[in-house]
Amino acid sequence: MKPTLDSRQLHAFAALALRGSFTLAAKDLFLTQSAVSHAIKALEDDVGCRLLDRVGRRVLLTQAGEQFLRHTERILREMETARSGLENLSKWGHGRLRVGASTTACQHILPSVLREFRQSYPKCVIRIEPGDYGHQLDLLRGGQVDLALVVEPAHPPVSEFTFVPLFQDELRFLVAPHHSWAKAGRAPRESIEGETLVLYNKTSHTFRLVNDYFRDEKVSLSNIIELGSMEAIKELVKIGLGAGVLAPWIARTELENGSLVSLPLGSRKLRRQWGVAHLKGRRLALAEETFVGLCVAVTEQLGLPGPSVAA
């Protein structure tokens, strides 16, 4: 395989073709005339044909030179476009941000984070891909997103991903204030199996956590309503169609106005760890580091317990 053409030789050839003079081309390129002459000779040796004819003090293109000039101009334009693109990426506020996030994070965390992010990076192209943890890992592996704001599984694939912890939350029962559990101030273990539980969809990591929790507690979940929206879960629970299992911060407004009541699942707490995942060994761009920092700040403002809280 022949070596790639030397860009310095291409610049010398283009300048010489434009000016028709070694002296003027050398002046434009801030080189000596002998340097330009050497570059052209090396280029002709490389491509294997004569590109220029010297007629007195004038330099004229051969037929091969005319054809080669068209390629040279196109190559130099592409090189300049590539350079300009990289320069734009290095400028403050430019570039792109591709983030995957769970539906809950999209609704309750990302709006505040992206509002702050946009102020610092007004020209950054932002793309958000919603989905649960498993889907986000596939997107990360495929290079379709650079960061994923998700719940960490109990046994994450540490060989592939780096997980930056943000906060922990606790899954609890949420019931309407007129529910018998709300009046009792607890969910009696013996009544859980007979209660309708309104849970997030069965393909989610959260559903698996809840299912595993009650299996370990020897409680059978036989009466389940499965929904793909946290908001829909809250609305069904409000009208008394069952007990939801959610993190209280997702229903902060409803708990504050008394339309929902939060109760523990049992004597043992069920906590989740939230964070930002990315491919292991990948160096984050400045915009991505800024996004992670804003996630930390926003979750602190929401009053969510930090990652140091024991599970």
**Domain ranges, ordered by start, for the chain:** 7-90, 96-167+274-301, 168-271
Distance CA 85, CA 140 (A): 24
Residue 218 has pLDDT above 90, yes or no: yes
| pLDDT tens digits for range 50-60 | 999 988 878 89
Residue percentage of the chain with pLDDT more than 90: 54
> What architecture is the 96-167+274-301 domain classified under in CATH?
3-Layer(aba) Sandwich (3.40)
Weakest mean pLDDT among 33-37, 43-47, 157-161: 157-161
Tracing tokens 């996630």 back to the chain, one arrives at 295
Give the residue with greater pLDDT, 222 vs 236: 236
Distance CA 276, CA 101 (A): 9
Question: If pLDDT is split at 50, 70 and 90, which confidence band does 95 have?
Answer: confident
Please, are residues 53 and 60 in contact by the beta-carbon 8 Å criterion?
Answer: yes
Q: What is the pLDDT of residue 309?
A: 45
Q: What is the pLDDT of residue 89?
A: 54
- Per residue in 213-236, is it b (16+ CB within 10 Å) or e — as a string? bbeeeeeebeeeeebeebeebbbb
Distance CA 75, CA 10 (A): 9
> What architecture is the 7-90 domain classified under in CATH?
Orthogonal Bundle (1.10)
Same topology between domain 96-167+274-301 and domain 168-271: yes
Q: What residue ranges in 206-266 does DSSP mark as E strands?
A: 224-227, 243-246, 261-263
The CATH code of domain 168-271 reads: 3.40.190.10
- DSSP structural state of residue 84: H
Distance CA 118, CA 294 (A): 11
- DSSP structural state of residue 172: E
- Residue 120: burial class (beta carbons within 10 Å; 0-12, 13-18, 19+): middle
| pLDDT tens digits for range 237-270 | 999 999 999 999 999 999 999 999 999 999 999 9
